[in-house]
Structure 1
Amino acid sequence: MPGADIVSLRSFGPQVMTSRRIRAAVRGWHGAKRVLGGKTKTLFVFLEPGEPYSDLLADALPGFAKHYGLEWQALAVGPPEKSAAPEPEMLAAYAERDAAGLRAAYGITASDQPIAPSGDPDRNARWRKKHGHYGSGMIWFEGEWYWGIDRLHHLERRLGASEDALIFPPVAEPTHATGGSFDMFFSLRSPYSYLAMMRAPALARLWTADLTLKPILPMVMRSLPVPSEKRFYIVRDCKREAERLGIPFGKIADPVGAGVERGLAILHRAIPDGKGVDFAQSFFTGVWAEGLDAASDKGLRTMAGRAGLDWTYAQDAIVDESWHESVETNRQEMFALGLWGVPSFRVGEHSAFGQDRLWQVGRWLEEG
């Protein structure tokens, strides 16, 4: 069938892009090139002066580089293009409080002698884009990107550090009952939402907390374009995170369009019936790890069936258009929190963005 062929090809590209063997080969090539050229291991660090994540990374950089015997070069860049950061005011406000939380979590103090990045920001931004990124507070090391403090643990492992010797390990979530409740805003097209959905329900049970699912439309289906360098980085970064978390990832069938709409329609009915988590996890696994086509009856039937939903139930849900109003209400709620991306979380008056902020959700639940 032509449709099956298209999905197969769509799945093959990401599998190549996220292949461990190819990643290892790229690392090996860069390492050999460095050795043959008589050069030292050097981090290229892209900093936006005054930007909270850049400032945080700059404060951590000298000690980190010294510990691992690395050279580094700080390069000045301006704010990301709007296509990569469509809500710059929200991003700036959120970055301020989020970076403060990270600073406290890792015990990073502000330097008395802050790093002054060098070079022409426009030229540096062109180099960054050519090599596959769009944001500030980023490290490039021999073919791979590492986002700020949050991804230093991946770089540390690459440099040979063991798990118990990491300087910046992922912040651990609480492991005891907290009670309370939290909301999760997510998109069926977001691979980061997939990673969060495969963990948040289990953590909610561990915390004896109530979890409310709040799906929204993907950015691209809200007429917000996503640049290629952002898409490719996200897929590769999600693969690293998925490996760390033990979650399958890489055989992808992008559900954008009809796949997302059909999934949202079923999810809209499944949530009040107590099957929202089961269907969301089944859908996410299908499109991000198994290459199932959510726009096809065959793919969606598989996703619904293993979530305990029969095909008649799914078909009835698909023709119900009431999900549109619900997901738009969820989007408006999320924006009212000063958040624009997914996954995002709300705990009472607190809110956080990112699959790697579940630890923060747990701490807020602890505080009551």
Structure 2
Amino acid sequence: MKKSIQPYVLRFISSNTLLSIKRRYYTCARFFKRGVPKLEIFIKVDDPYSFLLVQALPTLEKKYRVTITARVIINSDPVMFPELTMWNKHSINDAMHLANVYHLHFPCSTTEITHQARSVFTASCAVQQKIDEGASWTGIAELLLAYWKGDHIDASSSIDEAALEKRFEAHLHQLSSNGHYLPATIFYDGEWYWGVDRLDHLERRLIDEGYGIQPNPQIGFNKTYASLLQPLNFTQEKEKYSEPLTLFWSARSPYSYIALLQAVKLTTHYGIPIEVKPVLPMMMRGLYVPPKKAIYIFLDTKREAQKLGINYVFLADPLGEGVERC
């Protein structure tokens, strides 16, 4: 019974109708309060995506009528990161790529990260202090750049470290209670936006709600897929491009659905082979997937699929024999 109803429940949860109702509620509430959109940012000093996001905030302030508040966190829920070492290594490589796409700064390579826990805490105190003092986002980004370059950072001698540590924990609790688990996230009226490559969804929403400062503002943070399927001039022997694109694919992951379709388009367009390597879902490997993580991934996949023109309606939840047959 549960499995037969579940696809319809999930379809309703991710429906544009429900999303529109939620947004109208928040818009009406803001109208009566005569307020502007309030973006709540959660950042982590040693998280590369946070560094990139802070660099993007001045652009958002110039383009939209918003107020931005930031909260520093220092810890992460280990349940959310079952392979933290691998995650950290990948996130640095990914951040380097994103920095290049959006012309942001990221000076490190994975071999240069030698920061210790104490330096993370000290830098976190210094960043939170700058935020409390009302420093510009450019100034805060410069402080984060110093951290990532390995420069020595001193927090003010007047700060209460014990009090700040409690605040960092309170910020993490607020992040979790509002339904998320990642740093470098923006919370705006019931919806989450992670990192610079989800800012296009936030920009589109702000534009639709009429918060652009200039007439007809254009979305700027939409370059992640902008060059996909563009003409490519091969300057070397074609044989060197015969290496397959390898896709590690989980039947249970919503991201895998759109990733497979995009990978097929990519390899067809460029004339390269694709090799799909199925992997067992986390739950079949004895790993727990918390509900807040699952629901964010589910809703995020829906908006990404909609952006890419991919049909995303009913959701199956294959485990056991269903996955094995895939």
TM-score (norm 1): 0.66
3-state SS in 2 of match to 1:160: helix
Contact 2:101 2:223 in 1 (8 A): no
Contact 2:249 2:277 in 1 (8 A): yes
- In the TM superposition, what is the alpha-carbon distance from 1:39 to its structure 2 partner? 2.1
Matched ranges for 1:1-368 at <5 A: 5-109=1-105, 113-114=139-140, 120-160=167-207, 165-171=218-224, 172=226, 173-176=228-231, 179-180=241-242, 181-263=244-326
Distance in 2, matches of 1:146 and 1:163, equals 22
How large is the Cα RMSD of the aligned pairs?
2.2
3-state SS in 2 of match to 1:166: coil
CA displacement 1:80-139 (0-9 Å, x = unmatched): 312111111111122112111101111124786225898812111212212111110000
Identity of paired residues, percent? 33
Q: Which deviates more, 25-34 or 170-179?
A: 170-179
- In the TM superposition, what is the alpha-carbon distance from 1:26 to its structure 2 partner? 0.8
Contact 2:58 2:138 in 1 (8 A): no
3-state SS in 1 of match to 2:68: strand
Distance in 2, matches of 1:188 and 1:94, equals 22
3-state SS in 1 of match to 2:95: helix
Q: Number of matched residues?
A: 259
CA displacement 1:49-107 (0-9 Å, x = unmatched): 13100011011112222211211001111343121111111111221121111011111
CA displacement 1:262-289 (0-9 Å, x = unmatched): 22xxxxxxxxxxxxxxxxxxxxxxxxxx
Amino acid at match of 1:130: S
Structure 2: gaps (5+ residues): 107-136, 145-163, 209-214, 235-240
3-state SS in 1 of match to 2:78: coil
3-state SS in 1 of match to 2:140: coil
3-state SS in 1 of match to 2:98: helix
Distance in 2, matches of 1:169 and 1:79, equals 30
Structure 1: gaps (5+ residues): 264-368
Point out 4+ residue stretches in structure 1 off by more than 3 angstroms.
109-112, 115-119, 161-164, 177-180
- In the TM superposition, what is the alpha-carbon distance from 1:192 to its structure 2 partner? 0.4
Distance in 2, matches of 1:80 and 1:257, equals 30
Contact 2:36 2:65 in 1 (8 A): no
